[in-house]
Amino acid sequence: MRLSDLNRLRTAPVLSADEKSELVPELHQQMHQYLWFTVGIMALSADQAVSSLRKLEQYQAWSAHELIADPDLEGPVYLKANQQTMTARMRIEHGLGEGILISGHGRDTSQQSETWGPLPLDFFDNAD
């Protein structure tokens, strides 16, 4: 399993421990090449999306993004976090898969951005 295998998927796969252990260092190496990131999280609930974001922030040693959302969102959501603004916005969104998409961005437009995922919502639970 490689990160590029995930790009064609609509929703994140269930990963074995071995698959996850292969993907974690590859993702770390890829992310190391970029200056800042945006994150898209597709989840069945707001709590699930926020929990996935907080675990990613902890794993990457990022500061917490300020969440800008209706506190009463119920149903499937799409959360978009932007590391440059340090904000995360969330909205109800039906018809999406589930998972985490991470996009790396450079200093300017000379470095093309790259997106990895969808990764499972629990990908950063106990990530090494």
Separation between Cα atoms, residue 19 and residue 89, nearest integer Å: 30
Q: Supply the pLDDT for residue 13.
A: 96
- Cα–Cα distance between 32 and 24 in angstroms, integer? 12
Domain range for 84 = 3-119
Is 25 contained in some domain?
A: yes
Q: Is residue 126 part of a domain?
A: no
Q: What is the pLDDT of residue 128?
A: 55
- As a whole number of angstroms, the distance between CA 39 and CA 70 comes to 19
Structural domains in the chain (count): 1
What are 38-91's pLDDT values in tens digits?
Answer: 999 999 999 999 999 999 999 999 999 999 988 778 999 999 999 999 999 999
Is 81 part of any domain?
A: yes
109 compared with 6, residue with greater pLDDT: 6
Query: At 115, is the secondary structure helix, strand, or coil?
Result: strand
Domain membership of residue 124 (yes or no) is no
Q: Output the domain CATH number for residue 27.
A: 3.30.360.10
* Structural domain includes residue 86: yes
Cα of 76 vs its chain's centroid, Å: 16
